[in-house]
């Protein structure tokens, strides 16, 4: 089965019913996508499939045949949101951060705070109380002031 | 993930005809959005080991509005429902349900056909479809079969579908009246429902409202006696008493029978008090 | 080049945001096996037989007879085994360990255990075994009660709380020469080392390395020792690396939780609201083994009278046994439970006397020079009145309290404090160490404190940079590896900045003296390496009588006042917090953005504790051990949190800093319940679910159908 992973065509040898999460982490060694619950509740496993955020712990790998999958590694460390998450302390322990960033990528330009909250409702964070995550996302889209220390 | 992979078998359907042909040959569980699949496998509530991936059947993704009849393909996702102008104009209570089914990630994959087939008493779209008097369109090698959603469920997590049938669409006749939807969940987002209420309130007096509820019985239910009482002009407090006898909520991990009963009554009052 | 007090770039690096940070499950080693724990399915009884119903080829199987040294998890009491046999004391107790290279075979292996069951104890008030009790006495409470104008009584309850660190527990144990190295998601690598030594003995070299850890909150203080022991046993027997990661359900079902509490107050007051007598009973449910319960009880009792003056009091506490999985550390460690009770009780006292919640606190809140429940004289770094007045002013509390009466809106507050560091003589006993090592480029911090999201490396580096007068960029922080760093004590009890940071400050000052005018690189080039290591010295004035629980319980306290504004939906009896104001004083922030993160995150975790998080226990088993059914706050459950950080330096802390990790946890639950009480619902327990509100008695003019 073939698909496009982080911009590159790849072939999968895993069982068709293997979870996309496990294929990414084990067959391709991309451990940036995390398993927090295996139930589709926490969003730590979020990747983009054809530009839509999905929980990779719920996707049978056969269903991404021919699709474009983007993981946190696919951003190459260069996406402004990645720097902003560190600067604004949007990441404390960091385990939810890759999934949070991938979902945030699906936001349009200049989202309002309520749109950000709704978009991220499927990504759980236990450390930050979410406020610093909003600050990071608002700074990215130019919708907020830099936080005062 | 706990379930063994090696005993699972997945076949992909390339066309609807091929899909129903396969289902005639052997029992396979269709999967589409798969948002419940691994949870059910891991917790042992899903036995079958042979699956049919129907997600590629584009003919089941259409949303068609013709002569006031809205036909929604089984593979239409919750995100597509939220974005659809036709559904927004004709069945806004379905848009409300789709928005609340879970976070974005679930909305992007989950389908209306899956919600119907999963047969959960807490299925978020089911009270909407019941209040809308929707018809489930099934297909098999023998052709199409139409089953009203209100006759689709035969018991807790049981449908009248035959093993060789596939849900292909749901058809909603024109609705005259104001639509109401409220899901009371365990938290503000990404929540399992405790009580779901969907209703249609006719604009002319004497027109019976349609009232459907989820999570208060083994299946989604309409409340025909409550509807009739209100149509005949009964006071709302009498209607609440009748509703309380038409539903059978239970105590479970998420809530209590008493609470569900109380909230169902309050939702009815809120529904009826609004113009 | 000021570093302390600025929100400098974090030392933790960008790896968390790029996916490069490696957590336990991201590690792989050649020849690695996967481990699985077989757990008891009964709450109490004895194991009669264990039947292995699978082909043992390729399996490593370990039971309690394989333990080389002692089958005891070394912590406080020697009562908890690593593997049960034959006695079982709680559901999900570990019995047998399996490992295999093939996860499918591993998970398919059927193990049938036959038990002889005995009658379990689930009600803490009926428990036949008390793990620990203690009594704090000040003055003569019975005489004072007899003199009081009014007596107000109440019973308050809190339930379990599950940590839900988004990364479940996990370790990898790797044979390393003659010994074992365990890579662990943990808060206290030296605790894990101690537990491994007890299990395996000291003949083999043992080493623990902390992996990047995805949240702890106390849930990875002691539990990882057990997991590490299990993985190490499998690694020893197989000679292969063994990865043992819990999935979410196993983690929730089997690991520690916050102690549930029942707290009873009997309080004597004067007509004008002055507290003259406080008689308090605290009961904590410890679960099946002692673990950290005595210390949780201790902290809970010390804080049970709240931040108030009272000359005559008695706090009698006990933590008891039940046949449930052992409870353990969770942010706040007893204080959230007992301060929930006292703060709701204060509002009830105010109601009875016709006073408002601010007035009753203005009359009684502690000031510098006052004595606490244990007789500690508070020093100038005490800010009860300051946080109270700021919170009241900022939220226009009194006006809203009057205006919203009888409506669907409620406003409530809670005043609280939290001792920083280990109780009493704890820090002296710990003798924590910190080490600074000169490198060719700068200086390296070698401490056992762990970064678990709170920014440990960053604030430690800031403190050292400031103390040495060198650029922050020249300071690096070693990964906590028991083979390479000093034992700085556990990363708990809000001590990482205040205590370990203090030792580091002193190390920095000493190293500065030794370097003279030279930069680290210059000194290294001329003189070679240099290491400074120091032991923590608590302030000399601390006097603590452990026998009688009297004296200076903590070197200093953080202070807080939270105000919660919420709205009731009468149709569903759901309450929605609309705004939370958290005014907190913790000395001064070393890194303001990190400190703010602790307050925002802790406050939201407290809101979950108050409203959403309900552990449903059925016969000792957590029946809702899935994230679908144990609900923590999402973005849409979380209101705006307005954070105000007041300063009042603690002279014994690094640059005046106290601890802040746990303080924010004490305020939200009572503030939420006090706001619900403002609505007219007589709630005295949490979680204050809609179901509870629907059946709560109504006081005054409650707007409910």
Domains and CATH numbers, chain B: 5-53 (3.30.43), 58-172 (3.30.465.10), 178-273 (3.30.390.50)
Collect all residues of chain B within an 8 Å Cβ-Cβ radius of residue C635.
189
Dist. CA C120–CA B63, nearest whole Å: 58
**DSSP code for B13:** -
Q: Which element (helix H / strand E) includes C686?
A: strand C685-686
pLDDT in tens, B51-73: 999 999 999 999 999 999 999 99
Above 80 in pLDDT, residue A98? Answer: yes
pLDDT in tens, C422-461: 998 899 999 999 999 999 999 999 999 999 999 999 999 9
Above 90 in pLDDT, residue B48? Answer: no
Closest-CA residue of chain C to A146: C593
Q: Cβ(C105)–Cβ(C270) under 8 Å? A: no
> Any idea what the Cα angle at residue C285 is, between residues C281 and C289, rounded to 5°?
130
Check CB contact of C264 with chain A, cutoff 8 Å: no
The pLDDT of residue A108 is: 85
Q: Cβ(B116)–Cβ(B167) under 8 Å? A: yes
Check CB contact of C23 with chain A, cutoff 8 Å: yes
DSSP C360-428: HHHHHB--TT-B-TT-PBP-SS--HHHHHHHHHHHHTHHHHHHHTTTSSEEEEEEEEEEEESSSTTHHH
Retrieve residue B111's tokens. 């389908």
Residue C189 distance to chain A (closest CA, Å): 17
pLDDT in tens, C263-317: 999 999 999 999 999 999 999 999 999 999 999 999 999 999 999 999 999 999 9
pLDDT in tens, A134-148: 999 999 976 554 443
Collect all residues of chain A within an 8 Å Cβ-Cβ radius of residue C634.
121-122, 124
3-state secondary structure string across B116-181: HHHCCCCCCCHHHHHHCCCEEEEEECCEEEEEEHHHCEEECCEECCCCCCEEEEEEECCCCCEEEE
Closest-CA residue of chain A to C453: A93
Nearest to B38 among A16, A46, A57 (CB): A57
The pLDDT of residue C703 is: 52
pLDDT grade for B45, boundaries at 50, 70 and 90: confident
CB contact under 8 A, B53 and A46: no
Helix axes C293-302, C335-353, angle to 10 degrees: 30
The residue ranges of DSSP E strands in chain A, in sequence order, are 2-5, 8-11, 46-49, 52-55, 68-70
The pLDDT of residue A145 is: 47
Check CB contact of C10 with chain A, cutoff 8 Å: yes
CB contact under 8 A, B38 and A55: no
Total-model pTM: 0.97
pLDDT in tens, B83-134: 999 999 999 999 999 999 999 999 999 999 999 999 999 999 999 999 999 9
pLDDT in tens, C116-126: 999 999 999 99
> Any idea what the Cα angle at residue B222 is, between residues B217 and B224, rounded to 5°?
125
Nearest to A54 among B6, B105, B188 (CB): B105
Residue B101 distance to chain C (closest CA, Å): 13
Chains touching chain C through at least 3 C-beta pairs below 8 angstroms are A, B
Check CB contact of C93 with chain A, cutoff 8 Å: no
Retrieve residue B254's tokens. 């998420």
Residue C634 distance to chain A (closest CA, Å): 6
CB contact under 8 A, A32 and C18: yes
Site of tokens 């407090």: B237
pLDDT in tens, B129-173: 999 999 999 999 999 999 999 999 999 999 999 999 999 999 999
Above 90 in pLDDT, residue B185? Answer: yes
Check CB contact of B48 with chain A, cutoff 8 Å: no
Percentage with pLDDT > 70 across chain A: 95
Best mutation target among A63, A67, A130 (most B Cβ atoms within 10 Å) is A63
CB contact under 8 A, B106 and A43: no
The pLDDT of residue A51 is: 97
| Mean pLDDT computed over every residue of chain B | 96
pLDDT grade for C701, boundaries at 50, 70 and 90: low
Dist. CA B105–CA B94, nearest whole Å: 18
Check CB contact of B269 with chain C, cutoff 8 Å: yes
Residue B138 distance to chain A (closest CA, Å): 23
Residue C694 distance to chain B (closest CA, Å): 7
Dist. CA B37–CA B41, nearest whole Å: 6
The pLDDT of residue C665 is: 98
pLDDT grade for C580, boundaries at 50, 70 and 90: very high
pLDDT in tens, C49-67: 999 999 999 999 999 999 9
Over range A34-54, report the average pLDDT: 98
The pLDDT of residue B205 is: 75
Q: Which element (helix H / strand E) includes C655?
A: none
Collect all residues of chain B within an 8 Å Cβ-Cβ radius of residue C612.
186-187
CB contact under 8 A, C633 and B253: no
| Mean pLDDT computed over every residue of chain C | 97
Over range B32-50, report the average pLDDT: 89
The pLDDT of residue C1 is: 54
Above 50 in pLDDT, residue B44? Answer: yes
Above 70 in pLDDT, residue A101? Answer: yes
CB contact under 8 A, A42 and C16: no
Residue A62 distance to chain B (closest CA, Å): 8
Name the residue with higher pLDDT: A110 or C525: C525
The pLDDT of residue B46 is: 81
First-to-final CA distance of chain C = 62
Check CB contact of B215 with chain C, cutoff 8 Å: no
The pLDDT of residue B275 is: 78
């Amino acid at each position: 089965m073939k698909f496009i992973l982080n911009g590159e065509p790849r072939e999968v040898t895993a069982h068709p019913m293997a979870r996309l999460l496990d294929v990414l982490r084990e067959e391709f060694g991309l451990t940036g996508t995390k398993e927090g619950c295996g139930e589709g509740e926490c969003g730590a496993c979020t990747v983009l499939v054809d530009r839509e955020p999905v929980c990779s712990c719920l996707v049978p790998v056969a269903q991404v045949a021919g699709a474009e999958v983007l993981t946190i590694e696919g951003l190459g460390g260069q996406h402004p949101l990645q720097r902003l998450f560190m600067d604004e302390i949007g990441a404390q322990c960091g385990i939810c951060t890759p999934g949070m960033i991938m979902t945030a990528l699906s936001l349009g330009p200049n989202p309002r705070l309520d749109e950000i909250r709704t978009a991220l409702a499927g990504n759980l964070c236990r450390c930050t109380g979410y406020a610093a995550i909003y600050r990071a996302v608002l700074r990215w889209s130019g919708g907020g002031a830099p936080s005062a220390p | 993930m706990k379930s063994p992979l090696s005993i699972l078998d997945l076949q992909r359907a390339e066309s609807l005809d091929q899909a129903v042909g396969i289902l005639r040959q052997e029992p396979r569980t269709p999967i589409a959005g798969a948002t419940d699949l691994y949870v059910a496998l891991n917790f042992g509530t899903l036995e079958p080991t042979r699956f049919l991936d129907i997600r590629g059947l584009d003919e089941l993704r259409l949303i068609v509005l013709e002569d006031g009849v809205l036909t929604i393909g089984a593979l239409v996702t919750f995100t597509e429902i939220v974005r659809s102008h036709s559904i927004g104009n004709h069945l806004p209570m379905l848009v409300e349900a789709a928005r609340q089914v879970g976070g974005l990630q679930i909305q992007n994959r989950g389908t209306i056909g899956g919600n119907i087939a999963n047969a959960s008493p807490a299925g978020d779209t089911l009270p909407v479809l019941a209040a809308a008097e929707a018809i489930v369109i099934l297909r098999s090698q023998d052709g199409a079969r139409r089953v009203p959603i209100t006759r689709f469920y035969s018991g807790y997590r049981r449908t009248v579908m035959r093993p060789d049938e596939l849900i292909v669409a749901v058809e909603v006749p024109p609705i005259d009246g104001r639509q109401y939807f409220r899901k009371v969940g365990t938290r503000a987002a990404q929540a399992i429902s405790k009580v779901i209420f969907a209703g249609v309130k006719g604009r002319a007096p004497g027109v019976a409202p349609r009232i459907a509820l989820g999570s208060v019985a083994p299946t989604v239910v309409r409340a025909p006696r409550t509807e009739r009482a209100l149509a005949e002009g009964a006071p709302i407090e009498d209607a609440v008493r009748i509703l309380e006898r038409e539903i059978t909520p239970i105590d479970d991990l998420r809530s209590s029978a008493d609470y569900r009963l109380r909230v169902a009554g309050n939702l009815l009052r809120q529904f009826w008090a609004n113009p | 080049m000021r570093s302390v007090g600025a929100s400098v770039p974090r030392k933790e690096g960008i790896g968390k945001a790029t996916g490069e940070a490696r957590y336990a499950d991201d590690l792989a080693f050649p020849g690695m096996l996967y481990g699985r724990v077989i757990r008891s399915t009964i709450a109490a009884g004895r194991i009669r037989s264990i039947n292995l119903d699978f082909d043992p080829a390729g399996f490593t199987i370990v039971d309690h007879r394989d333990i080389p040294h002692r089958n005891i998890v070394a912590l406080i009491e020697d009562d908890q085994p690593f593997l049960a046999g034959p006695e079982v004391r709680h559901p999900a107790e570990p019995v047998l360990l399996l490992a295999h290279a093939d996860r499918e075979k591993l998970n398919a292996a059927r193990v049938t255990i036959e038990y002889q069951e005995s009658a379990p104890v689930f009600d803490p008030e009926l428990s036949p075994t008390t793990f620990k009790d203690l009594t704090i006495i000040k003055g003569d409470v019975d005489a004072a009660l007899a003199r009081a104008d009014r007596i107000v009584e109440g019973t308050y309850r809190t339930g379990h709380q599950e940590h839900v660190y988004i990364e479940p527990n996990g370790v990898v144990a790797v044979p390393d020469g003659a010994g074992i190295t365990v890579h662990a998601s943990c808060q206290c690598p030296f605790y894990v080392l101690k537990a491994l030594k007890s299990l395996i003995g000291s003949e083999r070299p043992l080493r623990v390395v902390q992996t990047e850890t995805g949240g702890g909150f106390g849930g990875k203080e002691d539990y990882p020792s057990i997991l590490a022991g299990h993985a190490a046993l499998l690694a020893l027997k197989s000679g292969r690396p063994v990865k043992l990661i819990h999935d979410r359900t196993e983690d929730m079902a089997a690991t520690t939780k916050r102690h549930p509490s029942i707290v009873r107050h009997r309080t004597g007051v004067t007509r004008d609201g002055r507290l003259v007598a406080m008689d308090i009973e605290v009961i904590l449910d410890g679960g099946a083994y002692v673990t950290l319960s005595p210390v949780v009880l201790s902290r809970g009792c010390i804080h049970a009278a709240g931040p108030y003056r009272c000359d005559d009091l008695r706090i009698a506490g006990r933590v008891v046994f039940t046949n449930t999985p052992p409870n353990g550390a969770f942010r706040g460690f007893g204080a959230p439970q007992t301060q929930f009770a006292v703060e709701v009780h204060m509002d009830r006292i105010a109601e009875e006397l016709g006073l408002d919640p601010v007035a009753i606190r203005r009359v009684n809140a502690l000031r510098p020079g006052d004595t606490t429940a244990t007789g500690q004289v508070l020093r100038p770094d005490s800010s009860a009145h300051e946080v109270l007045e700021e919170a009241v002013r900022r939220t226009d509390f009194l006006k809203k309290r009057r205006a919203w009466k009888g409506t669907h809106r409620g406003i409530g507050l809670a005043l609280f404090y939290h001792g920083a560091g280990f109780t009493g003589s704890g820090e002296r006993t710990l003798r924590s160490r910190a080490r600074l090592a000169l490198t060719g480029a700068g200086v390296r911090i070698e401490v056992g404190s762990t970064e678990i999201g709170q920014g440990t490396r960053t604030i430690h580096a800031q403190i050292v940079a400031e103390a040495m007068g060198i650029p922050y960029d020249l300071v690096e922080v070693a990964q906590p590896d028991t083979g390479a760093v000093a034992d700085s004590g556990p990363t708990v009890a809000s001590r990482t900045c205040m205590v370990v940071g203090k030792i580091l400050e002193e190390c920095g000052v000493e190293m500065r003296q030794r370097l003279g005018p030279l930069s680290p690189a210059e000194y290294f080039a001329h003189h070679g390496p240099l290491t400074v290591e120091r032991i923590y010295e608590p302030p000399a004035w601390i006097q603590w009588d452990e026998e009688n629980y009297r004296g200076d319980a903590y070197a200093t306290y953080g202070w807080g006042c939270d105000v919660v504004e919420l709205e009731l939906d009468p149709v569903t009896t759901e309450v929605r917090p609309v705004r939370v104001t958290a005014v907190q004083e913790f000395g001064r922030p070393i890194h303001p953005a990190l400190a703010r993160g602790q307050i925002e995150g802790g406050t939201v975790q407290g809101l979950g504790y108050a409203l959403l998080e309900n552990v449903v226990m059925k016969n000792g088993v957590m029946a809702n051990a899935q994230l679908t059914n144990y609900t923590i706050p999402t973005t849409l459950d979380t209101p705006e949190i307005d954070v105000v950080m007041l300063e009042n330096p603690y002279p014994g802390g690094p640059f005046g800093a106290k601890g802040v990790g746990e303080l924010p946890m004490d305020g939200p639950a009572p503030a939420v319940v006090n706001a619900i009480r403002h609505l007219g619902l007589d709630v005295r327990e949490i979680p204050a679910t809609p179901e509870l509100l629907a059946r709560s008695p109504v006081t005054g003019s409650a707007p409910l159908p």
